[in-house]
Amino acid sequence: MIANEVINALKSVANEDRRKTNEWFFKTGKGQYGYGDQFIGVSMPELRKVSKQYYQQASFGNISTLLNSPIHEVRLCALIILVYQYPKGDQGKIYDFYSANFASINNWDLVDASAPNIVGNYLYHHPGQADILLTYAHSESLWIRRIAIVSTFTFIRNNAFDPTLAIAKILLNDKEDLIHKATGWMLREVYKRNAALVKQYLKQNYAQLPRTTLRYAIEKMDKQERQDCLKGIFDDSN
């Protein structure tokens, strides 16, 4: 079975030192966001290599088996396989399958490696369905909220900024640092393409804006402008 071959291929390149590092990095301790997640210690280059080896053969059944694994790298490999399948596959079916398996996409790297390429891409090309991102932004699940904001990366790359700003507004009062970081990251990407739009957003929402979001959003500004923004001083001339 392909799923077993994928798992065995990943185990063959696993590294104990990396496993320990990943358990620390992805916060698997009690009370942390990754509590209970299991790692075997596979690097991203190795994950991509295994995914490329098997993506053409893997069915939804195989991928479902992988997504239900307790091992983090196995789930990530399944998602990368979907990302590789998406451009030449039945994109609607892949999007639906991905959306039906949100429960398995339960850490920030799993979201970031797949959501823009599948959810973001599909909804950008099907704008009549894109409002589902606003629903995701209100989810009780941290990971679905992160899917909402990170999926807008595809819109940003196509110079469509409204979804990012709308979701960032919904997430202003979010309690999770991983949401603050993701929102700031997306605002920074918008800034690269339309600085004035982000400055306006920051000025209008400064009082509510989480500090982490602000710091991420202004990373590409020059030093003086960053300092001004941190103090709530915005140049209306730009």
Domains and CATH numbers, the chain: 1-104 (no CATH), 114-238 (1.25.10.90)
- Is 1 a residue whose pLDDT tops 90? no
pLDDT at 38 over 60: yes
pLDDT tens figures, 100-126: 999 999 999 999 999 999 999 999 999
**pTM for this prediction:** 0.95
CB-based burial, 180-218: b 16+ in 10 Å, e otherwise: bbbbbbbbbbbbeeeeebbbebbeeeeeebbebbbbbbb
- Tell me which of 10-19, 26-35, 201-210 is least confident: 26-35
Q: What angle do CA 130, 116, 136 make, to 5 degrees?
A: 45
What does the pLDDT read at residue 127? 95
pLDDT in tens, 150-162: 999 999 999 999 9
